[in-house]
Amino acid sequence: MPFLSDTLSRVKPSPTIAVTNKARELKAAGKDVIGLGAGEPDFDTPENIKAAGIRAIEEGKTKYTAVDGIPELKEAICAKFKRDNGLDYTPAQVSVSGGGKQVLFNALVATLNPGDEVIIPAPYWVSYPDMVMLAGGTPVAIEGKLENSFKITAAQLDAAITPKTKWLIFNSPSNPTGAGYSKAELKALTDVLMKHPHVWVMTDDMYEHLAFDGFEFCTPAEIEPGLYERTLTVNGVSKAYAMTGWRIGYAAGPVELIAAMRKVQSQSTSNPCSISQYAAVEALNGPQDFIATNNEAFVRRRNMVVEMLNAAEGITCPTPEGAFYVYPDIAGCLGKTSAGGARITNDEEFATALLEETGVAVVFGAAFGLSPNFRVSYATSDEALKEACTRIQSFCAGLS
Ligand SMILES: Cc1ncc(COP(=O)(O)O)c(C=O)c1O
């Protein structure tokens, strides 16, 4: 009898975490490494939010809380959904977990039966397909093409839906491409969903506030109120508030679904960290102006990275609407040999040779389900980004 479960054998460890760890190891060994793999802002958590966490400790708010969130945080989340998205939710429709990741995981575990299909537009955040498989479901990828800025079309969505489809996982602005769906593009997708009442929407709005050049973020239940009863709107404080380590994510949706997610969490981790919950109340209710300041830095970096990557031989890099990623296409680099003698036939070989020969760590596209590409996280200093892009340019110039 095998010791490990059959389910686990189908699941791979997160490749983004693997790249980050590899870059960390090389750095610790004294190598000159620039890591562009990590999916987190380089900014510190704002002072008012840190102070709220410290206050919670000092006031002894260090005990178990209600499983899926303290009432103050649920109220703050309802206010956020009303303020930012025009969505009405009550605290009974809200669930708080240890990061957006746990929210998504709870929802999938709570709803998937063997054979249930989950549609995932590719390229996708690395965890979606593996989470679906861990929960016993079957991931079904649809490819967003480079020509359409990596976004899927209504016709593609319609064609992918079967009687077994339970969820569409939607993510805009996207990790790994940064692409954001306009209101019209999203409406075309929600129109398709309205024709298929058995399909639910899990919308991962993690990068809502990281939207640039006047791009107007929108979320499915806001664009199509007819979907409200079958939408789980997921969000969190990790990215916009530079709080990745605090581990707070949340979602709102129908009461029965939220209760089922609470049941999963009550038998696994119980409540998210009490201190982090109080800090998240301050994040959502406190001043929001630093988001615009951070975004100015992100736009400046994005523009520089896109320009420098497009100037590299064999690379095509679209300009995305948000998040802090770009997803360059490297079709023009394949079939060549690097200056260090590595044969480049796919994006994994490209990323490995790039790291070994130049010290620049990026995540290869196959990890996100669309090749040949790589993901750059530009949530790092302007100087590091400039140096990394210069090294990528000379790596590409050395391909023959
Ligand atoms: C698209 C997307 N969803 C969810 C998450 C998870 O966020 P958290 O750190 O809050 O678990 C991430 C983190 O990288 C992400 O990129």
Segment 14-60, tens digit of pLDDT: 777 777 788 888 888 899 999 998 888 989 999 999 999 999 999 99
pLDDT band at 256 (very low <50, low <70, confident <90, very high): very high
| 93-124 per-position pLDDT tens digit | 999 999 999 999 999 999 999 999 999 999 99
Distance (Å) from CA 386 to ligand 1 centroid: 26
pLDDT band at 383 (very low <50, low <70, confident <90, very high): very high
| 188-237 per-position pLDDT tens digit | 999 999 999 999 999 999 999 999 999 999 999 999 999 999 999 999 99
Q: What is the mean pLDDT of the chain?
A: 96
- H/E run at residue 122: strand 117-122
Nearest-atom index, ligand 1, CA of 171: 1
Q: Determine contact, residues 327/178, Cβ cutoff 8 Å.
A: yes
Q: Determine contact, residues 210/200, Cβ cutoff 8 Å.
A: no
pTM attached to this predicted model: 0.96
Q: Whose CA is nearest to atom 13 of ligand 1?
A: 39
Cα 218 to Cα 222: distance, rounded to the nearest angstrom = 7
Q: Whose CA is nearest to atom 14 of ligand 1?
A: 39
| 144-156 per-position pLDDT tens digit | 999 999 999 999 9
Please report where in the chains the tokens 């064999």 appear, as a residue. 314
- Name the token pair of 337: 């040999």
**Which letter does DSSP use for residue 126 in this model?**
T
| 282-306 per-position pLDDT tens digit | 999 999 999 999 999 999 999 999 9
| Amino acid (one-letter) located at 335 | G
Distance (Å) from CA 204 to ligand 1 centroid: 8
Cα 389 to Cα 358: distance, rounded to the nearest angstrom = 11
Give the β-pairing of 374-377 and 325-326: antiparallel
The domain defined by 63-287 carries CATH number 3.50.50.100: no
> What superfamily does domain 8-44+290-398 belong to in CATH?
Aspartate Aminotransferase, domain 1 (3.90.1150.10)
Nearest-atom index, ligand 1, CA of 104: 4
CATH 3.90.1150.10 residue spans of the chain? 8-44+290-398
Query: Omega before 123 cis (within 30°)?
Result: yes
- What are the b/e assignments for 216-253, b being 16+ CB within 10 Å? ebbbbbbbbeebbebbbbbbbbbbbbbbbebbbbbbbb
DSSP three-state, residue 97: strand
The ligand 1 site (C-beta within 6 Å) comprises 39, 99-101, 125, 171, 175, 204, 206, 236, 238, 244, 249
Residue 272 has pLDDT above 80, yes or no: yes
Distances (CA, A) of 330 to 16, 118, 209: 19, 29, 29
Residues contacting 134, CB < 8 A, separation 6+: 7, 8, 11, 105, 108, 109
Q: Determine contact, residues 137/117, Cβ cutoff 8 Å.
A: yes
Considering only the C-alpha atoms of the chain, give the largest distance between any 2 of them, rounded to a whole number of Å.
64
Closest to 104 in 3D by CA, of 230, 264, 225, 227: 264
Cα 195 to Cα 354: distance, rounded to the nearest angstrom = 46
Distance (Å) from CA 99 to ligand 1 centroid: 7
> In this predicted structure, what is the pLDDT of residue 126?
93
Please report where in the chains the tokens 């802002």 appear, as a residue. 41
